[in-house]
Amino acid sequence: MTCDEAHKLLHAYIDDELDVATALQIETHLPG
Amino acid sequence: LSSHAAASKFESAVLEHLDAAHNLARWLTKNDQDAQDVVQESCMNALRSFDSFRGADFRAWFLTIVRNTSFTWLRRRKNSSGPASEQSLEASAEIAADCEVYDPQAIAARAADADLVRRAIAALPQVLRETLVLREMEGLSYKEIGKIAGAPIGTVMSRLARGRMQLQALLMEMDQPNAGKSVQEGTR
């Protein structure tokens, strides 16, 4: 997943609307 | 089911979601009286087709009817703007009633904030407004919103993201007195 793709899914991630696998992929793009 | 049992089942299902129906209709028509008429018409439409309802999610089914009835209503009326000042007064009274401590300054500040948010939401494009209302006010899932709006989940995601960003931009713009004045004048 690219940063752009992750950025597009950020709202869904915050809303807890993503499946676990996608949510984990997003988390790799977030600063630790 | 007998007709009496079906009517009773319908009544209890509708009553549970009447507030959500009215809220959605009010944000789509931008007018409280129109919203009441839309909800009444939606209830009649829903009752007529209740026999054909086979799904498990009554709320999504009913709100789809409310949404469609709102759009039909808007097309008929061709005038979606309502008496904003009257609504603002009613809203201010509600806020005052909600305040636990009687503090005129706090009540005025809360009323001003609520009015600002209301005007900003009303200024959003219809597809973004309905998505935001269904998510933030009614707490529907992306899947339910997709069903109601007839849109894929990816579209719901992007509408929600765009809606939130536009709302933020509008709030910032309207919070500045001069910009706020120009927006207010533009909606008259």
The interface predicted TM-score of the complex, written ipTM, equals 0.83
Alpha-carbon gap: B157 to the closest alpha carbon of chain A (Å): 6
Mutation to test the A interface, candidates B142, B159, B166, most A Cβ within 10 Å: B142
- Pick the most confident of B89-93, B102-106, B126-130: B126-130
Q: How does DSSP assign B68-99, residue by residue? A: HHHHHHHHHH------HHHHHHHHHHHHHHH-
pLDDT tens-digit readout, B103-113: 777 777 777 78
pLDDT tens-digit readout, B10-62: 898 899 999 999 999 999 998 899 999 999 999 999 998 888 887 788 999 99
Task: Locate the chain B residue with the closest alpha carbon to A16.
Answer: B141
Cβ–Cβ gap B161/A15 under 8 Å: no
Using a CB-CB distance cutoff of 8 angstroms, which residues of chain B are in contact with residue A11?
157, 160-161, 164
pTM: 0.73
Place of tokens 């009517």: B7
B135 near A CB under 8 A = yes
Using a CB-CB distance cutoff of 8 angstroms, which residues of chain B are in contact with residue A9?
157
In terms of DSSP H, where are the helices of chain B? Answer: 3-16, 18-29, 32-49, 58-77, 84-98, 104-122, 126-132, 142-149, 153-175, 177-187
Using a CB-CB distance cutoff of 8 angstroms, which residues of chain B are in contact with residue A12?
142, 157, 160
pLDDT bracket for residue B145 (50, 70, 90): very high
What's the CA angle centered on B48, arms B60 and B22, to 5 degrees?
Answer: 45
Whole-number pLDDT of residue B83: 47
A30 or B83, which is more confident: A30
Q: Which residues in B114-139 are b (16+ Cβ under 10 Å) and which e?
A: ebbebbbbbbbeeebbbbbbbbeebe
**Which residues in chain B (158-187) have CB-CB distances under 8 A to chain A?**
158, 160-161, 164
Cβ–Cβ gap B157/A10 under 8 Å: no
Cβ–Cβ gap A8/B142 under 8 Å: no
A18 near B CB under 8 A = no
Place of tokens 């759009």: B71
